[in-house]
Structure 1
Amino acid sequence: MKTRTLIALMGASVLALTGCSASETQTEQLTSGVDEAAKAAVPQEIRDAGVINVAVDYPYPPFEYQDDAGEITGLDIDLAYAIGEKLDIPVQINKQPFDSVVASLQANKNDIILSGMNDTLERQEVLDFVEYLHAGFAIAVPAGNPEGISDELDLCGLTISSQKASTSGDILRDLSEECTSAGKAEIQIHELATTNDGQTAVQAGNADAFIGDAPIMEYLVATAGDGSTFELVDFADAPKGFEPVYTGVGVLKDEGLTEALTLAMQSIEADGTYDALLEKHDLKQYRVESIDVNLAEK
């Protein structure tokens, strides 16, 4: 373990906390500055602690990943900094395995989740989500699409990899039930720890395809082998990916941070930072109509 400090510009001091990567400090202001209403809504306990701890599981590009210089970057990292600026409080990015991000909030290790987390009704039993993306799921296959996958039911009988504890695993289980209902073979679901593991499984021939959030799959296809290793299955009627869901900043219910985060994110939208960051990370097509809370459909 190394010490990592990622501090929002508006914070007055540098706090060294235990993290899992090299130390760095934000030097560029992203937003128009402090939002007084959002700042006033920060619970006193958080204000007294002097930092907001953010649970992030990387690599998960373009949300969070290490660039060529080894620095952590991505949409979620920028949003964390921007939230810190609006709330006038430093933020600490803590690497946390995705399957334990909620538990890390419950154990008071982290305060919020910014890790490309999809809003689901099941997760809403514990968390509030301040939504910032609306995207579906996409399927990456080896270049040339050797299995001839053209729709979801073409996955029947195949081995498909996905990230453990992610919504994509639930999607596969639902599709597998559709397969068996149609008299076809069930999907062999290969759930792995990280998106990189899922990619490797396909490249090694241990899986026929890899499913994940559309932004992740697009990035994978564009960058792996300089764009020559994978291709996306084209769903012409689903430009945002099939079965679109909302992605949001996760925070425990009744912890008092939901209002502050919502006001901060709405201020980030109002001053143009939100659109600028989406453009920076090539995610404009997944913009939400407006920042809101808990939009998963009942």
Structure 2
Amino acid sequence: MNKLTVVGVTAVAVSVVLAGCSSPAADSSSSAPSVAARAAAPEGLISSDAVTFCIDPEYPPLEYYENGTDGEIIGFDADAARAIAAYWGKDAAFEVTTFEGLQPGIQAGRCDIIPGGLYMSASRLEVLDGVQYMQTGPALIVRADDDKKYADDKDLCGLKISAQSGSSNAGIGEDIAAACGDGTSVDQYPKTADTVVAVVNGSADALIETDVAAADIVARSGGQLRLVSGFFQPDTQFGMFLAKGSAVSGPLGEALQALYDDGTLAEIAKTYNLDPANLVVG
């Protein structure tokens, strides 16, 4: 397989240049629905000018750069973040970091809210506050020319599994590998793009990824990948996270509920080909 084709497809799909912990820039422009200010901004925001969100923009359709590696940060989470900020009469500012930097970023006070692609896990809720907004679960991706029938975990025994480092999906892979025993491994990569490349170029046999991202990855793969339908069942929720005990936690829940009730979140979901029925706020 042509390596340049692999890299090119993946770059369009998910690869980005991350900006580390650069200063956040206010951003009021987007394709998000217009939201009128309906509540005072909560106490406890790190800036009086904007609501600051830690974000890893390499995870379509939730958060990604419009031009693949630069430009405006778009996606469901990014537009929802703008809607939340607008609800409070503020602009949204994005603090770009890696996936592994999201939780440290919020704990270090570099941002108010993490909107992006984190599960409402018991371990995470021990150290952060969270408000759920979407039901989700893992999904299995393999190469399109892999005609093996995948029905349950044992069908992954003896394979190399790819997953993003620090993610719940990596943990799922490690549990499967442990149950399978010798011959099954999990290769963890810092970026989603790397996990995809590993499967496309044959370094890994299968990728465990969150279902909302998996559908987008397969759609953008140029026919090189396929989604194994029904291998995993939706079993958890995505949440937006804050520092433990943050004064913003209650107002965030109220804002998300209001934006859910008035259809704003559903409109954003449709923009990114997500099913509004999977929105679960609470």
Q: Same fold (TM over 0.5)?
A: yes
Aligned to 2:184: 187
Mapped to 1, the partners of 2:131 and 2:250 lie a distance apart of 9
Aligned to 2:239: 248
CA positional deviation for 1:48: 5.9
Q: Relative to structure 1, is the Cα distance of residues 134 and 155 closer, same or farther in structure 2, using a 3 angstrom cutoff?
A: same
CA contact 2:140–2:228 (8 Å) conserved in 1: yes
1:95-142: per-residue Cα shift (whole Å, max 9, x none)? 111112111111111111011111100000111221111011111100
Q: Which stretch shows the higher mean deviation, 242-251 or 214-223?
A: 242-251
Mapped to 2, the partners of 1:28 and 1:137 lie a distance apart of 28
Aligned to 2:199: 202
Aligned to 1:55: 54
Q: Which stretch shows the higher mean deviation, 145-154 or 196-205?
A: 145-154
Q: Which runs of 5+ in 1 are unaligned?
A: 5-16, 293-298
CA positional deviation for 1:85: 0.9
Helix, strand or coil: the match of 2:221? Answer: helix
Helix, strand or coil: the match of 2:218? Answer: helix
1:33-92: per-residue Cα shift (whole Å, max 9, x none)? 1222xx26x01x428632221011121000011224833210011001000011112220
Q: Relative to structure 1, is the Cα distance of residues 285 and 33 closer, same or farther in structure 2, using a 3 angstrom cutoff?
A: closer
Query: What is the one-letter code of the residue matched to 1:72?
Result: I
Mapped to 1, the partners of 2:215 and 2:32 lie a distance apart of 28
CA contact 1:30–1:81 (8 Å) conserved in 2: no
When normalised by structure 2's length, the TM-score is 0.85
Aligned to 1:217: 214
Query: What is the one-letter code of the residue matched to 1:253?
Result: K
Aligned to 1:158: 159
Helix, strand or coil: the match of 2:58? Answer: coil
Mapped to 2, the partners of 1:111 and 1:48 lie a distance apart of 9
Aligned to 1:178: 179
Query: What is the one-letter code of the residue matched to 1:245?
Result: T
Query: What is the one-letter code of the residue matched to 2:79?
Result: D
Mapped to 1, the partners of 2:150 and 2:46 lie a distance apart of 52
Mapped to 1, the partners of 2:166 and 2:101 lie a distance apart of 9
Helix, strand or coil: the match of 1:49? Answer: coil
Aligned to 2:94: 93
Q: Relative to structure 1, is the Cα distance of residues 192 and 223 closer, same or farther in structure 2, using a 3 angstrom cutoff?
A: same
Query: What is the one-letter code of the residue matched to 1:164?
Result: S
Query: What is the one-letter code of the residue matched to 1:198?
Result: T
1:173-210: per-residue Cα shift (whole Å, max 9, x none)? 22223324xxxx45300010111100011122110011
Mapped to 2, the partners of 1:156 and 1:172 lie a distance apart of 11
Mapped to 2, the partners of 1:200 and 1:28 lie a distance apart of 30
Helix, strand or coil: the match of 2:116? Answer: coil
Query: What is the one-letter code of the residue matched to 1:141?
Result: V
Query: What is the one-letter code of the residue matched to 1:212?
Result: E
CA contact 1:278–1:287 (8 Å) conserved in 2: no
Mapped to 2, the partners of 1:27 and 1:206 lie a distance apart of 37
Q: Does 1:18 align with 2:23?
A: yes
Query: What is the one-letter code of the residue matched to 1:230?
Result: L
Q: Does 1:261 align with 2:265?
A: no
Mapped to 2, the partners of 1:27 and 1:106 lie a distance apart of 28
Query: What is the one-letter code of the residue matched to 2:161?
Result: I
CA positional deviation for 1:144: 2.6
Question: What is the percentage of aligned positions where both structures have the same residue?
Answer: 27
Mapped to 1, the partners of 2:148 and 2:164 lie a distance apart of 21
Mapped to 1, the partners of 2:235 and 2:144 lie a distance apart of 25
CA contact 1:141–1:230 (8 Å) conserved in 2: yes
CA positional deviation for 1:147: 4.6
Alignment partner for residue 275 of structure 2, among 284, 287, 291? 284
Provide the aligned C-alpha RMSD in A.
2.4
Mapped to 1, the partners of 2:163 and 2:52 lie a distance apart of 27
CA contact 2:200–2:225 (8 Å) conserved in 1: no
Aligned residues: 261
Q: Relative to structure 1, is the Cα distance of residues 29 and 113 closer, same or farther in structure 2, using a 3 angstrom cutoff?
A: closer
Query: What is the one-letter code of the residue matched to 1:33?
Result: A
Helix, strand or coil: the match of 2:110? Answer: coil
